[in-house]
Amino acid sequence: VDYSSSRLPVFHPNRHGSLLLPVPVLRRRRRRGRPPSTAGGSGGFSGGGGSNMLRFYTDEAPGLRLSPTMVLVMSLCFIGFVTALHVFGKLYRSRTAASASA
Q: Which of 14, 83, 94, 96 binds another protein (CB under 8 A)?
A: 83
Measured distance CA(100)–CA(91) in Å, rounded: 14
Is 91 among the residues that bind another protein (CB under 8 A)? no
- Identify which of residues 26 and 97 has a Cβ nearer to another protein in the complex: 26
- Identify which of residues 8 and 71 has a Cβ nearer to another protein in the complex: 71
- Identify which of residues 16 and 34 has a Cβ nearer to another protein in the complex: 16
Measured distance CA(96)–CA(8) in Å, rounded: 72
Which helix or strand (DSSP H or E) is residue 41 part of?
Answer: helix 38-57
- Identify which of residues 17 and 36 has a Cβ nearer to another protein in the complex: 17
Total binding residues toward another protein, as defined by CB under 8 A = 29
**DSSP code of residue 24:** H
Measured distance CA(41)–CA(37) in Å, rounded: 6
Is 34 among the residues that bind another protein (CB under 8 A)? no
**Helical pair 2-16 and 22-33, crossing angle rounded to 10 deg:** 140
Q: Which of 64, 98, 100, 102 binds another protein (CB under 8 A)?
A: 64
Is 78 among the residues that bind another protein (CB under 8 A)? yes
